[in-house]
Amino acid sequence: MTQDAITRGAKLSCFDNPTQIEPLSGGITNVNLRVTDGDRRFVVRLGEDIPEHGVLRWNELALSRAAEAAGVSPAVHHHEPGVLVLEFIEAQTFDEEMARDPCNVPRIVDLLKTTHHALGSHLTTPVLTFWPFQVNRTYATRLRSDGSGHSAKLPALMRQLDSLEAATGAVTLVIGHNDLLAANILDDGTQLWLIDWEYGGFNTPLFDLAGLAGNNGFSEAQEAAMLEQYFDAPASTHWRAYQAMKCTSLMREALWSMTSEIHSELDFDYAAYTAENLARFDAALQDFQNT
């Protein structure tokens, strides 16, 4: 797969003389390459639509362009079916430890707040809505029809999901990134960047905040400070709805991984990723039930 990707990347019409093409690690949905063309470097993302995950590349392109215009994501250099080419940013990719570093959390929250409220004015086409409760129900329906080995877990998860949705209540919609893994945050030493918009779309800001904390092991004190900074209000104002969304985000990550166990051809240990996120979900659910 990697050699086929390199061959495809070398033939892209947007390059004059690609002299170095190498795979980039970390992708669990796409094949990613770094390409040197003259004195410039680019990231090539190779990936078709993924219906089982709701990934539609026209939506990713529209949001990538808007994020570029808002100054929070690298520039789009080229696109064609199954291909998105971005300017390469010389930056450090976050890991979970960096994402929860007390020095970085306020910077990430500022980035999210800017992103949520700036992208809308730069969109030139409609984009999708990412409603996590329906996303999770869709995953569950598909997992049952696909005969997933996790099917026995689904009825309890769906009952819990109903309770979480009721606890979330009314929401305000913003343009969300909806995939706040540490690896999607870059630091060039001056500013933070947010990459990979394949799940982007309208959502409550609570989902990105919950994904940031839940995926990166924030402490309760960090979660409270994050909410206070984002909403400029006491954390208690949004605490229960936030805890519900945190559970929903972690459930989504687990269901995503269960689905990838069946459908993905990438070399990644999805079974271990499923187990990790189910454990995180169980811990978050206990916290939510105790609030």
Q: pLDDT, tens digit, for every residue of 41-54?
A: 999 999 999 999 99
Residues 26, 32 contacting (CB under 8 angstroms): yes
For residue 27, the model assigns a pLDDT of: 65
CA distance 264 to 260: 5
Residue 69: what are its φ and ψ, rounded to 5°? -65, -30
Please say which residue of 87, 114, 148 terminates a domain: 87
User: 162-191 pLDDT, tens per residue?
Assistant: 999 999 999 999 999 999 999 999 999 999
CA distance 68 to 86: 10
Residues 206 and 80 in one domain: no
Please say which residue of 57, 87, 117 terminates a domain: 87
Please say which residue of 49, 64, 87 terminates a domain: 87
User: 206-261 pLDDT, tens per residue?
Assistant: 999 999 999 999 999 999 999 999 999 999 999 999 999 999 999 999 999 999 99
For residue 26, the model assigns a pLDDT of: 64
Residues 70 and 107 in one domain: no
DSSP secondary structure of 38-72? TTEEEEEEE---BGGGTB-HHHHHHHHHHHHHTTS
Residues 154 and 168 in one domain: yes
Residues 147 and 36 in one domain: no
The pairs formed by 276-279 with CB atoms below 8 angstroms and a separation of 24 or more are 277/250, 277/253, 278/153, 278/254
CA distance 111 to 191: 9
To the question of pTM greater than 0.85 for the whole model, the response is yes
Number of domains in the chain: 2
Residues 73 and 101 in one domain: no
Residues 34 and 172 in one domain: no
Residues 240 and 104 in one domain: yes
